[in-house]
Amino acid sequence: MNKWIEKLREKDKRTIARIITKIEKQDPDKDQLLELLFPLTGNAFLVGITGSPGAGKSSLLDRLIETIRAEQLSVGVIAVDPTSPFTGGAILGDRVRMTKHALDEQVFIRSMGSRGSLGGLARATKEAVWVLDAAGYDVILIETVGVGQAELDIMHVADTVALVMNPGAGDVVQVFKAGIMEIADMYIVNKADLPGAARLVAEIEELLDLIQQSTKWRRPIVQTVTHENRGIEECWQQLQRHRQYLQESGEWIKRRQDHMQLEVWEIIEDAFRQFLRREMGKKEYKYELEQVAQRKKVPHQVARQYLQKIFPALREDEK
């Protein structure tokens, strides 16, 4: 196991890929590996890049990697694609747009499926970020699809969240209502050479003036055109500026503490969910579920009886 860690610290891509695969497949060695890796984490700058499909996130990432590498910083990329609820598969196409970085020893790119996680990030994705952090990558870019309230999970992982938008992609007010814009620390208006870019920027500025912000950080708006490499340098500068703000304000430590505490809750919830799924597959519970399906029993009644049987402490709470 120690040899794995040594190779990981050398940024050996084969070893990194194998460890992430072990995590994805829930290998029996996974927990032991994570226990060895975790003390080595906490040094990378974690950047979340989210936005609707077709916003140009992967092309933007490609250019952003170039800019970061120009400063001799190493880059890890986790690109998350939504998993189909029907087939369980995901179209992991993000690496196709970033193939020119494949031979760079200081860049690691991995595509992963969300695997049904409501927050848009699979449990394995967050643990893969730990792997890249432990490997010593300076900046880790996490790309995920943001399509509304179900995709807010990125805010519980990244230090800085950037929301990518396009001119003519829809009503900004509706996007604000969905909640996705409220989690962003900065906005990127990509494909800014298209008609309507100036109007989109003005709409975002107007809404930023209306909403109540709990911090002194004024969310910047950066306009980018990836095929012209326009605005990418400014994008990176704003990301670094936000990192500096977090560190100077004390928010950096607070965010990371909140993230780690939430991580514990999520692991417990995930373990319970798996346990409950196994229990509900037993014959006695299948019969109860059939009674509910036939409307002979109330769902709340069956759920309460079931929980009280598994967790006796619940009976005491109701007394």
Q: Residue 21: inside a domain, yes or no? A: no
Average pLDDT over residues 304-315: 74
Average pLDDT score over the chain: 84
Assess whether 187 and 100 both reside in one domain.
Answer: yes
pTM for this one? Answer: 0.87
Assess whether 239 and 204 both reside in one domain.
Answer: yes
**Per-residue confidence at 24, pLDDT binned at 50, 70, 90?**
confident
The pLDDT value recorded for residue 91 is: 45
Assess whether 146 and 287 both reside in one domain.
Answer: no
**Per-residue confidence at 103, pLDDT binned at 50, 70, 90?**
confident
> Three-state SS for 80?
strand
Question: 143 — phi, psi (to 5°)?
Answer: -100, 130
Question: 96 — phi, psi (to 5°)?
Answer: -60, -35
Assess whether 155 and 295 both reside in one domain.
Answer: no
Q: Residue 59: inside a domain, yes or no? A: yes
Tell which of 220, 251, 282 closes a domain: 251
Contacts of 31 (CB under 8 A, 6+ apart): none
Q: State the CB neighbour count (10 A cutoff) for residue 138.
A: 16
Assess whether 74 and 211 both reside in one domain.
Answer: yes
The pLDDT value recorded for residue 51 is: 85
Tell which of 194, 228, 251 closes a domain: 251
The pLDDT value recorded for residue 76 is: 96
The pLDDT value recorded for residue 158 is: 95
Average pLDDT over residues 238-246: 97
Please state the domain count of the chain: 2
CB 299 within 8 A of CB 292: yes
Compare 304 and 81 and report the one with higher pLDDT. 304
Whole domain around residue 289: which residue ranges?
264-317
Return the closest-CA partner of residue 110 out of 71, 148, 137, 70: 137
* pLDDT surpasses 90 at 240: yes
Assess whether 233 and 285 both reside in one domain.
Answer: no
Question: 110 — phi, psi (to 5°)?
Answer: -135, 130
Assess whether 234 and 268 both reside in one domain.
Answer: no
CB 73 within 8 A of CB 92: no
Name the one residue in this structure whose structure tokens are 């077709």: 54
**Distance, CA of 38 to CA of 270 (rounded, Å):** 19
The pLDDT value recorded for residue 235 is: 97
Widest CA span in the chain: 68
Question: 310 — phi, psi (to 5°)?
Answer: -80, -40
Lowest mean per-residue pLDDT among 124-128, 234-238, 294-298, 306-310? 306-310
**Per-residue confidence at 118, pLDDT binned at 50, 70, 90?**
very low
For residue 40, the Cα-to-chain-centroid distance in whole angstroms is: 20
Name the one residue in this structure whose structure tokens are 């319970």: 272
The pLDDT value recorded for residue 193 is: 93
Tell which of 221, 251, 281 closes a domain: 251
Q: Residue 76: inside a domain, yes or no? A: yes
Lowest mean per-residue pLDDT among 80-89, 94-103, 256-265, 273-282? 80-89
CATH number reported for the structural domain that contains residue 140 in this entry:
3.40.50.300
Assess whether 166 and 270 both reside in one domain.
Answer: no
Contacts of 298 (CB under 8 A, 6+ apart): 292
The pLDDT value recorded for residue 314 is: 57
The pLDDT value recorded for residue 88 is: 42
**Distance, CA of 172 to CA of 156 (rounded, Å):** 23
**Distance, CA of 212 to CA of 176 (rounded, Å):** 13
Query: Kindly report the CA angle at 118 between 114 and 120, in degrees rounded to 5?
Result: 40
Average pLDDT over residues 77-95: 56
**Per-residue confidence at 273, pLDDT binned at 50, 70, 90?**
confident
**Per-residue confidence at 283, pLDDT binned at 50, 70, 90?**
confident
Assess whether 44 and 184 both reside in one domain.
Answer: yes
Q: Residue 144: inside a domain, yes or no? A: yes
**Per-residue confidence at 212, pLDDT binned at 50, 70, 90?**
low
Assess whether 177 and 305 both reside in one domain.
Answer: no
The DSSP annotation for 118-175 comes to TTSS-HHHHHHHHHHHHHT-SEEEEEEE--SGGG-GGGGT-SEEEEEE-TTSS-HHHH
* pLDDT surpasses 60 at 5: yes
Assess whether 147 and 293 both reside in one domain.
Answer: no
CB 129 within 8 A of CB 158: no
Assess whether 200 and 296 both reside in one domain.
Answer: no
Average pLDDT over residues 211-227: 86
